[in-house]
Structure 1
C-alpha cells in the first residue's frame, strides 16, 4: 500500500511541476482494475437559484469507503454564471487543514466553465471513509441578462481506494431547478415551453423541446403545484442517447428517473403501437380529505402515533396507448432516486419513508437522512410519505435500557410486539425469529427451495430462513436441520449478526484485540472469531460481572439492542 501511496503523491507533484495547474489535472494513477463493489454519490446544491446579479454556492459531497485520492469536475455555463470563489481559495498545491492530511489541487477554466478539484492522502495509513461529506464548494454569481439552464453538472469523477483501484462512481444532482430566475418572463431563452394542446395539470414535451433542453445527459424539470403529469414521446430514452436521467422536482419531492426506466416502458409495446403512445410520469400530492383518511387508516392499523412530516405523494410511471390505457412495469430495471424534504419538525430516529397501500397498511422503505432530506431508492411507484412513527408498549417503560432501540426498530418495521400493547422484552428469541429480524433489516430475499429438512413451506419463517441461508448468515445445526423453534443462544446470535455484517460489507471479521469476557473460555470454538469481532466493534456487551454467558438464552430486548448497534455502525 505504501508503494501505491507514493506513486499517487509522485503523480501529484509531477502534475504540479509540469503544468503549474494551468489546466485541470488528475492525481490518479492508472489503477489495475475497477473496484465495482463500491459506489460514490456526488450531490449538487442548492434547491433554487437567485435572480440575475445574485449569488449562490454549489456543494459537491462525497460518500465513499477506503478513499485515498480523487478528481472531480464541476461544470457550469460560463455565459450565465461567473465564479466568485472556489474552495480552496488559492490555486495550487496545498495541505488540507480540514481534518484530512492531503495534497490538494484546484483549478478553474472560466472559458470552458470547468472547476477541477483533486486530492491525495498523505502517509501510508488506510483510506478514509466519507459519509456525505463536503469535498469542495464553489460560489457563483448570475451574470446580467442571464436566463435559461444554469449548466451545473458533475463532469469527470474518479476516485481511488488504498489498493489503487477505481471506486465505482454514481453521480447525482439533487434537488435541482432547471432555470435561472429572472422574474416574470415569457417562455424561451433556454426554457421549455408547454404546447397549447397540453391538458390541464400536464406538462408535455415534444422531441424538439427535449433536444433543446437536454444538458449533459440530464433533463431538469420543475412542476408547479397545479401540474401533476409529465408527458414525453415514447422514444425518450433514444433522445437521451441511451444514458443520463430526468430529474423532476415538485414541492418537497425530487425524483431522478434513469433512462433505463423509459426504455423499459417503451419496450412494453410493439413498434406499431408505440408510434401512437406516450410516456406519462405522474407526481400527485394527495389532498384532504383523501390524505387524512389514508393516514387515519394507517394509524389505526399500526396502533401507533403517526405524524406526516411532509407531503403524501402518489407516483406513477406508464406508457399510455392511443386508447388512453396505461401499461406499467411491475418493478423498475434500475432504482428511481427519491429525495423528500420534511417540514423541519421530524425526529430522524423515528422518521422514515413508507409505502402506503390503499387500505392504509404501511411498508417501510429503507432510506437515509442527509442535510435534513430523506434519500431512498424506489423499485416501484405507488403512494409514499415521510412519517414520524412512534410505537409504545405497556411493558417497555421509557427508562427501560432497550426502550429507544425497540422504538426505532418498531418504526422501521423490523420488530413488532407479541400483541398490540406488549413487547415482552425479557422473553427468549428463537433461531427462526432472529434470522427473520436480520433478513428484514437487510432487505434480503430468497430465490431457492429450503436447504433444511425442518423448515417447510407452511411455516411463517420459511422465506426468511431460506434467505438467511442463501446469504451465508445461517448454516444449520446438524443433519441438515436448522432447529428453528429452539431458543437462540447469545453466541449463536452474535455469530449470525457478524455473518450478516460480513455479507453486507464484504469485510474481514478478523479482530485485532481478543474479547476480555471473564467466561470467554466457555465460548464454543466456532463462535470465538465472531464474539471477538463483535466485542471489538462494540456490537455486544457482557452481562453482570463482565460475563458473556455464551450458552445463555438471548432475550427480545437484547436482540433488538444488538441490531440497533449494527445499524448505528453506519455500514448496513
Structure 2
C-alpha cells in the first residue's frame, strides 16, 4: 500500500512537472532498435528504446507513433525496479512511462529505457517513431524533447517469405511465388499423403521466422472425407497431422476457404500440431468473411515474458498461444457463437496442480492485458491436455487458480463444487471472501448460470415484458427463450427476480441439456418412487425431475426431492458442477 501511495504521488508530480526551458549542454541521444527487421505477418517482435548521456534520470515518458492498422501494441517493460505506468493507446501510437518510487538520485550514463512488444497485423513497411520524450530528474525538473528516432519494420506475409527464400527444396519451378505478396494468388500445394481420414501435408520451414507452413487442397480434403464415416449426428471428421519441427514457434495451416464456409455443419477438420490441436467445424465462417480461395490458421507460441508484468505474474510459466486467421495477407476477424472451435494444448501439471487438477483453467488474454476465464477450460489426465471451446480467436493461456470462500463450513457437501466453478469463472461470490451458500437463487440468475455453464448461444427471441433490455440477465433469458428453455409464467412474463423453486430449476435444466445436445434420458418417473414427497412434484415437472435423478445430476435431500423449496446458491452450484462434468 505504501508503494502504491508513493507511485500515485510520483505520477502526479511526473505529469505536472514544469518543463525546464534550457536543456542540458550534452544532449542525450535516443535510439530505436528492432529485434527483427522483417517480422512475419501475425508474429511478435520488439523495439528496444535506448538513450546515451543520461544525467540524473528519475522518471520518463515515451511517445511512440506508428500505423495502428499495421501494428498492435502487446506489452512493454521499462527500467529496473521502480514503477511502470499502464500503457496509454493514442490515435496514432502509444504512450509509456516509468518512475522510481523512493527518494534517491536518478540514473546516469547509457540506459535501456524500454522494450516494447508489437504484433504484426498487415504486410508492408511500417515506421515506428519515438516522437516525444519527457525526462524528469530527482528534483522533479522536466525536459521535453521532440524527436524523429525511428525504425522501419518490413512486415512480410508467409507467402512473401516463401517467394523470397527460394524453393526450399520442395518446388524447383516455384516461379509464381513472387506474385503472392499481393494477397490474391493461391498458395502452391505439394500433394499431401492421405491415409483414410488422416492427411499428412508436406511442410515448409522458415527458419528465420521459426514458422512451419503447410497447405492442404480441396481434393485431398474431399478424398479424406470420402474415406471416413459420419458419427451419430451425421458429422464426419478429417485430421490434418502437421509434422513437428524442432525449434518451431509457429504453425500455419492453409486450407480452402470453402472447406469451412458451409451453411450447415456436416464435417470437422482437426488440425494437429505440437503447439495445439484445433478442431474447426465446416460452418465456422459466415458469408462474406473473405473473397479469397484460401485461408490460413496460425498457431503461435507466445513467450509470457513478452506480456505486461501484471499478466506475467498471473500466468507464470504456463503455456500461452495466439490463434489467428488470415487470408490474402490480412488478419480475418472471426467471431461466430454458432460454430465454436475446440482447442487442446499439451500440458504437464506441476506436483501442486496435480493435487487439485480441477483448478487448472484457461484464460483469454485481451489486447489490454486483461485475463478472462474461459468456462469450458479443463485438464484431462488421460490425454495430458487442456482443452476448451472458443467462438473467437485471440491469445489464450493455461493457468491455475484456487478460489475459496470463508463461509462454506456449513455446506461441506458443496464446498469443492463451489470452489471449482468459481475458479473457472462460472459462478462468483457476493464478495471476494463470501459466497452466501444458503441465499436463494432468482429465476434470472439461474438462467445466467445455465447459459454460462453449457455455453449456450443463439439469436434472442421475443423478449418477456418484465425483462428490461438493460438488465444483466437480458441476453441469457433471451437465448433461453429462443432455444425453448424458458417459457415464462403466462401473460408474457418471466418473473426474473423471484426465487426459483427446485422443480422449476430441474425443468429449465432438462430443457437446457436437450438444447445443448446432451444425452439425458427422461420419461421414466418410477425412479422417483423412493422419495417420500414424490406426490408434491407438479405434473409438468415430473419427467424433468426424473431425467435428472436418473442421470445422477440430482440426488435429493435424503429421501426427499423438496420440489417446492427455494433453490439455494449452494444447490445451484452443485448442479452446475454436475452438468459441467457430464
- For Structure 1 versus Structure 2, the TM-score category normalised by the shorter chain is 0.5 to 0.7
1:247 to 2:268 alignment:
no
Shift, 1:153, TM fit: 4.2
In structure 1, the partner of 2:242 is: 221
Deviations 1:89-147 (A, max 9, x none): xxxxxxxxxxxxxxxxxxxxxxxxxxxxxxxxxxxxxxxxxxxxxxxxxxxxxxxxxxx
In structure 2, the partner of 1:200 is: 209
In structure 2, the partner of 1:338 is: 343
1:469 to 2:481 alignment:
yes
1:217-296 correspondence runs (5 A):
219-222=240-243, 224=245, 226-229=247-250, 245=269, 247-251=271-275, 253-256=276-279, 268-269=290-291, 280-291=296-307, 293=309, 295-296=311-312
1:35-434 correspondence runs (5 A):
153-155=195-197, 192-194=203-205, 200-204=209-213, 216=224, 219-222=240-243, 224=245, 226-229=247-250, 245=269, 247-251=271-275, 253-256=276-279, 268-269=290-291, 280-291=296-307, 293=309, 295-296=311-312, 299=314, 310-321=318-329, 325-331=330-336, 335-345=340-350, 346=353, 347-358=356-367, 359-366=369-376, 369=380, 370-397=382-409, 400-434=412-446
Tell me, yes or no, if the aligned pair for 1:472 and 1:499 is still in contact at 8 Å. yes
Instruction: Report the Cα distance in structure 1 between the residues aligned to 2:246 and 2:310, rounded to whole angstroms.
Output: 21
Deviations 1:297-341 (A, max 9, x none): 7x5xxxxxx776x411112121244xxx54443449965442211
TM-score normalized by the length of structure 2? 0.53
Shift, 1:393, TM fit: 1.0
Tell me, yes or no, if the aligned pair for 1:340 and 1:373 is still in contact at 8 Å. yes
Shift, 1:221, TM fit: 2.5
Match of 2:467 among 455, 460, 465: 455
In structure 1, the partner of 2:29 is: none
In structure 2, the partner of 1:495 is: 507
Over 3 Å counting, the alpha-carbon distance change for 1:428 and 1:413 in structure 2 is same
Shift, 1:493, TM fit: 1.6
Q: How many residues are aligned here?
A: 365
1:481-560 correspondence runs (5 A):
481-503=493-515, 504-505=517-518, 508-511=521-524, 512-543=526-557, 546-560=559-573
Instruction: Report the Cα distance in structure 2 between the residues aligned to 1:356 and 1:207, rounded to whole angstroms.
Output: 30
Gaps of 5+ in 2: 1-189, 226-238, 260-265
Over 3 Å counting, the alpha-carbon distance change for 1:438 and 1:230 in structure 2 is closer
Tell me, yes or no, if the aligned pair for 1:235 and 1:266 is still in contact at 8 Å. no
In structure 1, the partner of 2:262 is: none
Gaps of 5+ in 1: 1-147, 156-172, 179-189, 300-305
Instruction: Report the Cα distance in structure 1 between the residues aligned to 2:269 and 2:467, rounded to whole angstroms.
Output: 44
Instruction: Report the Cα distance in structure 1 between the residues aligned to 2:476 and 2:574, rounded to whole angstroms.
Output: 20
Tell me, yes or no, if the aligned pair for 1:391 and 1:410 is still in contact at 8 Å. yes
SS at match of 1:438: helix
Deviations 1:365-413 (A, max 9, x none): 5256252223444433211122223111121249722011101211332
TM-score normalized by the length of structure 1? 0.54
Tell me, yes or no, if the aligned pair for 2:202 and 2:215 is still in contact at 8 Å. no
Question: What value does the CA root-mean-square deviation take over the aligned residues?
Answer: 4.2
Over 3 Å counting, the alpha-carbon distance change for 1:214 and 1:222 in structure 2 is farther
Shift, 1:500, TM fit: 2.2
Larger Rg: 2
SS at match of 1:526: coil
SS at match of 1:562: helix
Shift, 1:150, TM fit: 12
Over 3 Å counting, the alpha-carbon distance change for 1:293 and 1:254 in structure 2 is farther
Tell me, yes or no, if the aligned pair for 1:234 and 1:266 is still in contact at 8 Å. no
Tell me, yes or no, if the aligned pair for 2:361 and 2:373 is still in contact at 8 Å. no
Over 3 Å counting, the alpha-carbon distance change for 1:193 and 1:436 in structure 2 is closer
In structure 1, the partner of 2:575 is: 562
